[in-house]
Amino acid sequence: MAARRGLIARLFGGRERARRDASPSWAPPSVERILALTEGMVEPRESALLHRLARETREGCIVEVGSYRGRSASLLGAGSLAGARRPVYAVDPHAEFRGLLGGEFGPLDREAFYRAMLATGCWRIVRLVNLSSEVVTPRWTEPVGLLFLDGDHSLEGVRRDFGCWREHLLAGARVAFDDASDPELGPWRLIEELVSGGDWRRIEQVGRITVLGRA
């Protein structure tokens, strides 16, 4: 019986896992450290913004659409761990995809994503949802306090993603759009529509990221 229990403990790594989670010496990595450990598209100032937005999220969960190799998900995860520890969902199918800016994406990015989670320790709070938003959101139940959109930058793509998550946003939610400064791209055009519609207002702009809140 004891041998069987020992085998089960070894198989499931119970003690090791408990030791890592409870370790008083573990602290979430800094923005600079995440930039050094991960691959991604966001630059230092934008990275600091994502970290701060996640740290300031007190209610609801954090959803990212477009996770690539885990840089922005790690920034959101580390920010959340330094704040109210809201769960972070990283939504990306990691399927073959050619972005409007010429980027080629696919399943190899999933491997790099997992590596980034291990390197940064952000697996503690980031959950990969390896599907597209329209598959996920019809049965979604958790209110969203922060939404970061960085997936398909075509107008129909970003409109679809925003439309999928819209009904799940808390009244005080923030919505951050990457690649929002180029009038040729979907995020810029959707933001213009949302702001001129009167329901949304610009809160801040850092680099290519624009943050909206309800008007």
Beta bridge partners of 127: 89
Distance CA 2, CA 114 (A): 34
Q: Does 31 engage in binding with ligand SAM (CB under 6 A)?
A: no
- Measured from the CB atom, the residue of 91 and 194 that comes closer to ligand SAM is 91
Stretch that binds ligand SAM, among 16-24, 39-47, 81-89, 186-194 (CB under 6 A): 39-47
- Identify whether the C-beta of residue 110 lies closer than 8 Å to the C-beta of residue 81: no
Residue 121 carries which DSSP code?
-
Applying CB under 6 A, among 31, 34, 35, 42 the residue interacting with ligand SAM is 42
Query: Total binding residues for ligand SAM by CB under 6 A?
Result: 23
Applying CB under 6 A, among 83, 151, 186, 187 the residue interacting with ligand SAM is 151
Residues 6+ apart with CB under 8 A from 180: 187, 188, 191, 205, 208, 209, 210
Distance CA 57, CA 206 (A): 18
Closest CB to ligand SAM belongs to which residue?
40
The pair of structure tokens assigned to 140 is 């979604």
- Measured from the CB atom, the residue of 189 and 214 that comes closer to ligand SAM is 189
Q: Output the smallest distance, CB 170 to ligand SAM, in A.
A: 21
Q: Which amino acid is at 199?
A: D
- Measured from the CB atom, the residue of 173 and 185 that comes closer to ligand SAM is 185
- Identify whether the C-beta of residue 124 lies closer than 8 Å to the C-beta of residue 78: no
The interface mask with ligand SAM, positions 92-131, x = CB under 6 A, is xxx--x-x---x-x---x----------------------
Residue 166 class from Cβ within 10 Å (0-12 exposed, 13-18 middle, 19+ buried)? middle
Q: Does 137 engage in binding with ligand SAM (CB under 6 A)?
A: no
Q: Identify residues 52-91 at the interface with ligand SAM (CB under 6 A).
A: 65-68, 71-72, 91
- Identify whether the C-beta of residue 172 lies closer than 8 Å to the C-beta of residue 145: yes
Residues forming the site for ligand SAM (CB under 6 A) = 40-42, 65-68, 71-72, 91-94, 97, 99, 103, 105, 109, 132-133, 150-152
